[in-house]
C-alpha cells in the first residue's frame, strides 16, 4: 500500500511539473511574440520619423503622420500590466501601471486632444526619446527570452536611460506646460458647477497636479533603474529594505 501511494504521489508530481513546464513554454512564446511585435512597431515609428524629416526638413507636421502608429503601440503596452498581474513577468504591477498609464495619458489626453501643441519641439523630444528607449527595451527582452543577449543591447538597456529618462521627462513636462493655456481657455475635460452630479473638476489644475507629481515620482523610478544597473552590469548585491 505504501508503495502504491508513493507511486501515486510521484505520478502527481510529474503531472504537475509537466503542466508548469507547458504553461511556462506558452508564457515564454507569448512574451517573445509580444516583444518582437513591439520592437517592430517602434522601429516602424523610428523609420517614419527619419523619412519624414529627410523629406520635409522640419518637425512640423511630423506628429500627425505618426500619431496612429504611436497611439496603437503605446496603448497596446497596457498588456504589460496584465503580464505583471498574472505573474508571467516578475515586475511590480503598480510601477508598470504608473509608467504605462502616464504615457497613455500623454498620448491620448494631452497631445492627441490638443492639436495646437502637436508641432511643439517638446512633443518631438519625448516621442524620439520614447522611440529609442522602447526599441532598446523590447530588443533586450526579446533576446533575453531567446537566451542570446548581445552585450551591446544589454549595455544600451542599462546605460542609455541615464540620459534618455531625464530628457523624456523634460519633453513631457514642457508639453503639458504648453497645453495649459489652451486647456484654460477651452475648459476641456472640465466639469463646472452647478451640474446634476454636484461635482466640480478642473482639468487645468489637474494638469498642474500631474506636473507636480513628477517631483516625487521621477527620482524613485530613476534611482530604481540605477540600482538595477549596478546589479546587472557590476554584479552588486542590492539589499532592499522592507517598507
> Domain limits of the chain?
18-234
How much is the pLDDT for 16?
A: 62
pLDDT confidence band for 242 (50 / 70 / 90): very low
Q: Is 80 a catalytic residue?
A: no
Mean pLDDT of 95-124: 96
Percent of the chain exceeding pLDDT 70 equals 89
How much is the pLDDT for 238?
A: 40
* 165, 182, 214, 222: the active-site residue: 165
Q: Is the pLDDT at 118 greater than 60, yes or no? A: yes
**What's the chain's average pLDDT?**
90
pLDDT confidence band for 100 (50 / 70 / 90): very high
How much is the pLDDT for 10?
A: 58
Q: Is 138 a catalytic residue?
A: no
Non-local (6+) Cβ contacts of 113 within 8 A are 188, 189
Q: Is the pLDDT at 144 greater than 50, yes or no? A: yes
Q: What is the pTM assigned to this prediction?
A: 0.88
Mean pLDDT of 86-91: 92
Confirm if 127 and 133 have CB atoms less than 8 A apart.
no
Burial of 127 (0-12, 13-18, 19+ CB in 10 A): buried
* 120, 134, 172, 204: the active-site residue: 172
Amino acid at each position: 500500500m505504501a508503495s502504491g501511494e508513493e507511486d501515486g504521489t510521484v505520478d502527481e508530481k510529474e503531472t504537475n511539473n509537466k503542466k508548469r513546464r507547458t504553461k511556462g513554454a506558452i508564457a515564454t512564446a507569448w512574451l517573445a511574440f509580444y516583444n518582437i511585435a513591439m520592437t517592430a512597431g517602434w522601429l516602424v515609428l523610428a523609420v517614419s520619423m527619419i523619412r519624414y524629416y529627410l523629406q520635409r526638413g522640419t518637425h512640423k507636421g511630423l506628429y500627425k503622420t505618426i500619431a496612429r502608429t504611436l497611439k496603437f503601440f503605446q496603448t497596446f503596452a497596457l498588456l504589460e500590466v496584465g503580464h505583471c498581474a498574472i505573474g508571467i513577468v516578475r515586475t511590480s504591477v503598480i510601477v508598470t501601471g504608473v509608467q504605462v498609464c502616464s504615457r497613455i495619458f500623454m498620448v491620448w489626453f494631452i497631445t492627441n486632444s490638443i492639436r495646437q501643441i502637436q508641432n511643439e519641439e517638446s512633443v518631438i523630444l519625448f516621442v524620439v526619446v520614447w522611440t529609442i528607449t522602447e526599441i532598446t527595451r523590447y530588443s533586450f527582452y526579446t533576446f533575453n527570452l531567446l537566451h542570446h543577449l548581445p552585450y551591446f543591447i544589454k549595455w544600451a538597456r542599462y546605460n542609455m536611460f541615464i540620459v534618455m529618462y531625464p530628457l523624456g521627462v523634460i519633453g513631457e513636462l514642457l508639453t503639458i506646460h504648453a497645453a495649459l493655456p489652451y486647456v484654460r481657455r477651452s475648459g476641456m475635460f472640465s466639469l463646472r458647477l452647478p451640474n446634476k452630479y454636484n461635482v466640480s473638476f478642473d482639468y487645468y489644475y489637474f494638469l498642474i497636479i500631474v506636473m507636480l507629481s513628477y517631483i516625487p515620482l521621477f527620482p524613485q523610478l530613476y534611482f530604481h533603474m540605477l540600482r538595477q544597473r549596478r546589479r546587472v552590469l557590476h554584479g552588486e548585491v542590492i539589499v532592499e529594505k522592507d517598507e
